[in-house]
């Protein structure tokens, strides 16, 4: 009897699971971030929280366009892979440094560099997913990514973030997020055997067909 749940190739499976961990880690922060900034950062106000978030999004939104253009120009996935790993490791380090933040300038600087780190992750992440998605299952695999990796990851992370913030303190949550981000990045290393080498422009798209 044919299973309702299609088998996933290794690349899609690794990305779905790694992004679940990454999103769960990021999900720790929304329940505590504004309270942490306004109560434990010298000189911070509610307006400071809004500006800090703006710094992150403006930085990420601009930088990732340049990253995307760069990885698109270099056919193959070696550059995508190393950008993604470097961005993940940098993100893990930077988010952990929030533990030591004491004034609002620290926050703004961290947000700026975290924006750069995330800009290194997202374009290659989506590019690799798109190239390796199974033909005829595009809708399902994108929906799985949205429902499980993003939706369930965010929900699980938000629940744990609120509980941990109340039990161990807001500041201690940030190194935990850094550790989980590091774990997610290490999971992405398992993509290495399936990463496309540099190929000539116009070469046919590769789809990983081996199923598990």
pTM of structure: 0.88
**pLDDT top residue among 200 and 77:** 77
Per-residue pLDDT, 38:
96
**Which pLDDT tens digit goes with each residue over 43-79?**
899 999 999 999 999 999 999 999 999 988 876 789 8
Q: pLDDT exceeding 90 applies to what percent of the chain?
A: 76
Cβ within 8 Å of residue 195, ≥6 positions away: 76, 77, 78, 80, 81, 128
Contact 88, 174 (CB under 8 A): no
At residue 211, the pLDDT reads 45
52's CB contacts (< 8 A; 6+ apart) are 37, 104, 107, 108, 111
Q: Give the integer Cα–Cα distance in Å for 36 and 101.
A: 11
Q: Which domains does the chain have, with CATH numbers?
A: 10-190 (1.20.1250.20)
Whether residue 115 is predicted with pLDDT greater than 50 in this model: the reply is yes
* pLDDT confidence bin for 207, thresholds 50/70/90: very low
Q: Helix and strand tally (H, E) in the chain?
A: 8, 0
CB 28 within 8 A of CB 173: yes
Least confident of 6-15, 60-69, 141-150, 198-207: 198-207
Is pLDDT above 60 for 199? no
Query: Average pLDDT in the 12-22 region?
Result: 95
pLDDT of residue 37: 96
Q: What is the mean pLDDT of residues 19-44?
A: 95
Which pLDDT band, with edges at 50, 70 and 90, does 135 fall under?
A: confident
């Amino acid at each position: 009897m044919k299973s309702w749940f299609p088998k996933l190739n290794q690349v899609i499976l690794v990305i779905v699971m790694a992004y679940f961990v990454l999103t769960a880690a990021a999900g720790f922060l929304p329940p505590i971030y504004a309270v942490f900034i306004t109560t434990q950062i010298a000189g911070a106000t509610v307006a400071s929280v809004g500006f800090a978030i703006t710094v992150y999004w403006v930085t990420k939104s601009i930088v990732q366009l340049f990253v995307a253009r760069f990885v698109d120009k270099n056919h193959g996935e070696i550059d995508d892979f190393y950008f993604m790993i470097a961005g993940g490791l940098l993100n893990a380090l930077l988010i952990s440094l929030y533990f030591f933040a004491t004034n609002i300038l620290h926050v703004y600087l961290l947000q700026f560099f975290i924006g750069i780190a995330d800009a290194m992750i997202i374009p290659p992440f989506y590019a690799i997913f798109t190239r390796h998605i199974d033909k005829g299952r595009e809708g399902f695999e994108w929906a799985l990514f949205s429902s499980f990796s993003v939706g369930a990851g965010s929900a699980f992370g938000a629940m744990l973030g609120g509980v941990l913030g109340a039990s161990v303190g807001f500041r201690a949550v940030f190194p935990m997020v850094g550790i989980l981000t590091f774990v997610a990045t290490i999971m992405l290393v398992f993509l290495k055997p399936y990463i496309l080498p540099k190929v000539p422009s116009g070469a046919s798209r590769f789809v990983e067909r081996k199923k598990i």
